[in-house]
A and B are shown apart, each in its own frame.
Chain A
Amino acid sequence: MSAQVRIVATEVAGVVTAKVIVPHPNESGRRKDELGNLVPAHFISEAKGSLNGTALFEMQLGPSVSKNPFLQFRFKGGKGDTLNVVLLDNKQNSFAGETVVK
């Protein structure tokens, strides 16, 4: 699990729009493979965002999120702020990404 979380954050008029893409299979646990076996659930279940070390948002996600989860959100901030996003899947693997707002 070395794939990197990708984050892009751009500021326009004091509002930062951030896009996060996490490379992850996000299996719901309901899908069957070619042999008809259930693919075990493996999905991002938690996400946390912080700006310059201060909490921004916290969320819980279910198995209905698409493969390679894409999240987009907005917050008040400026250029040069550091946005950090940490994600956790249901197998306790954690993924993190950090970017500087442009």
Chain B
Amino acid sequence: MNRRSFLRRALLGGAALSLIPLDLMAAWQKASFTDAGFSQAMQNNFGTTSIPSSDKITITAPAAATNSAMVPVEVSTTLKADQIFLLVEKNLTPLVYKLDLTGRMMPYFNIRIKMKESSAVHAVVRSGQKYYRATVDVAVTAQAC
């Protein structure tokens, strides 16, 4: 290998290497947090847009939120959950969070979220490789964002 081809290969290799870490670091799944609308978000996260609703999931949220920049949303379930998702149908980025639980965690999560406008709020729980859903409507009376 002469000097010229060595340099060329080193350059190519370096360029290739510099691309890899970007992919590895993308633990944050961009597709899950799509801004292409609610049905696309459902498709990207669950592979389907129709998830059966379950009365074993409870969403506690104000029916009317006075401050849309800080809406408390509490999700709990009596299902044996290993994942919980929260989606706001009309937000530009519908998915709020995706939570992976270990056995020690109780299937409960409370968070404060932003809402663009009055919208349905969906909680999706994965239990035994199946998804279940609950929905509440939250009306926003004062807009912040």
A and B: bona fide binding partners: yes
Which residues of A come within 8 Å of B, CB atoms?
15, 28, 30-31, 45-46, 51, 54-67, 69-77, 90
Contact: B28 with A46, CB < 8 Å?
yes
Question: 19 A-B contacts, Cβ less than 8 Å apart?
Answer: A56-B105, A57-B99, A59-B99, A60-B27, A60-B28, A61-B96, A61-B97, A62-B33, A63-B93, A64-B94, A65-B111, A66-B69, A70-B110, A71-B110, A73-B108, A73-B110, A75-B106, A76-B106, A77-B104
Contact with A along B93-124 (1 / 0, CB 8 A): 11111111110111011111111000000000
Give the size range of B's interface with the partner.
20 to 34
Contact: B110 with A30, CB < 8 Å?
no
Contact: A55 with B102, CB < 8 Å?
yes
| Chain B residues whose CB sits within 8 angstroms of the CB of A58 once the complex forms | 99-100
Contact: A65 with B112, CB < 8 Å?
yes
Contact: B145 with A72, CB < 8 Å?
no
Contact: B97 with A72, CB < 8 Å?
no
Contact: A60 with B104, CB < 8 Å?
no
Q: Chain A's nearest CB lies how many Å from the CB of B104?
A: 5
| Chain A residues whose CB sits within 8 angstroms of the CB of B95 once the complex forms | 62, 64
Please, how many angstroms separate the alpha-carbon atoms of A45 and B29 in the complex? 10
Please, how many angstroms separate the alpha-carbon atoms of A31 and B93 in the complex? 13
